[in-house]
């Protein structure tokens, strides 16, 4: 699929002023309610979230944006990484809400965006109407163990390439990238051909953000990573808005992690997409759209 499949519909785009910088956004729909999409990464532009545009209309706006330092949004001066923190990105969501002035505010967070959505719900829950947590995690350790297990399960020859390249920190070695691409195609997006917005997102990751907060890729969590040790599982019971938790049967983040999140949030519903991995919005688009739309329409 191409951008035209989603961008041919009426929409607006521009820049939101946030403090002393601006964030690039796209808006679909004209309603008073807002669904804000939080992209993954950290550092991945929002393009792959374009299927969420289908939820915009006369009663609801869908707003997709690139987080600070990502895509077409403003970034820091060279060498300044102080804003690349969970706290900054969480407070950025609240600044966007204030700028949009929604009647009802719904947040859809995918992967890292789901972590950010949890942080927002725990800090600003009284401003939130509902929450969609897609293919995400509530603690770094168990999710990393799950993701790394897919690498450890590779055939011996492939695993030898991984270990050799990682031992030399040769994370851009073509042989290493080829092996990881096989893991991606089994556990990140199982489509035979990546749609254009997915390809563009994966080609434009801000490696500074990703590397500082996680590592060279999701299968290597650095000791110095700012997200190492992140864990909000014991606080999930504090979330008191209707929540939809989405996972895929083949997700690199094991579905049991999504199930555990749903169990801990009092008013949560879990949906597992049987033919999907980390991107059900592309792998099973109709089923994903129907389930999210039903959740939003129910006022949940």
C-alpha distances in angstroms, 215 versus 84, 123, 222, 225?
13, 26, 5, 7
Which listed residue (208, 251, 254, 260) is catalytic? 251
Alpha carbons 27 and 35: distance in angstroms, whole number: 10
For tokens 């700028």, the residue is 99
Catalytic residue check, 111:
yes
Backbone angles phi, psi at 86, to 5 degrees: -60, -45
Closest CA to 140 of 78, 213, 87: 213
Q: How far apart are the first and last CA of the chain?
A: 30
C-alpha distances in angstroms, 198 versus 71, 111, 161, 201, 290?
13, 14, 26, 5, 21
Q: Which two tokens stand for residue 36?
A: 């804000």
- Looking at the DSSP bridge assignments, the partners of residue 244 are 132, 269
Which listed residue (73, 111, 129, 146) is catalytic? 111
Complete DSSP assignment for 217-267: BTTB--TT-TTTT-B-GGGGGG--S-EEEEEETT-SS-HHHHHHHHHHSTT
Q: Which two tokens stand for residue 134?
A: 């897609």
- Burial category of 124 from C-beta neighbours within 10 Å (exposed 0-12, middle 13-18, buried 19 and up): middle
Which listed residue (55, 250, 278, 288) is catalytic? 278
Looking at the annotation, which residues are catalytic? 111, 251, 278
């Amino acid at each position: 699929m191409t951008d035209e499949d989603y961008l041919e519909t009426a929409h607006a785009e521009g820049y939101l002023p946030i403090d002393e910088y601006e964030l690039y956004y796209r808006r679909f729909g004209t309603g008073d309610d807002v669904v804000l999409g939080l992209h993954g990464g950290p550092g991945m532009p929002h393009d792959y979230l374009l299927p969420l545009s289908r939820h915009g209309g006369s009663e609801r706006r869908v707003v997709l944006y690139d987080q600070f330092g990502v895509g077409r949004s403003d970034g820091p001066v060279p060498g300044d990484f102080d804003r690349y923190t969970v706290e900054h990105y969480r407070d950025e969501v609240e600044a966007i809400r204030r700028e949009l002035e929604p009647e009802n505010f719904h947040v859809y967070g995918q992967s890292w965006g789901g972590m950010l959505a949890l942080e927002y719900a725990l800090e600003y829950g009284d401003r939130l109407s509902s929450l969609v947590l897609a293919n995400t995690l509530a603690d770094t350790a168990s999710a990393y163990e799950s993701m790394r297990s897919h690498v450890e399960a590779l055939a011996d020859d492939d695993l030898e390439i991984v270990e050799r390249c990682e031992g030399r920190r040769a994370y851009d070695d073509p042989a290493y990238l080829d092996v990881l691409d096989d893991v991606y195609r089994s556990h990140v997006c199982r489509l035979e051909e990546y749609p254009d917005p997915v390809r563009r997102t994966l080609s434009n990751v801000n490696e500074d953000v990703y590397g500082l907060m996680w590592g060279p890729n999701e299968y290597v969590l650095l000791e110095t990573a700012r997200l190492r040790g992140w864990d909000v599982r014991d606080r999930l019971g504090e979330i008191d808005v209707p929540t939809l938790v989405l996972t895929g049967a083949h997700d690199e983040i094991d579905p049991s992690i999504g199930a555990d999140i749903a169990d801990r949030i009092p008013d949560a519903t879990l949906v597992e997409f049987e033919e999907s991995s980390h991107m059900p919005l592309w792998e099973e688009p109709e089923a994903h759209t129907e389930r999210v739309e039903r959740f939003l329409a129910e006022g949940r």
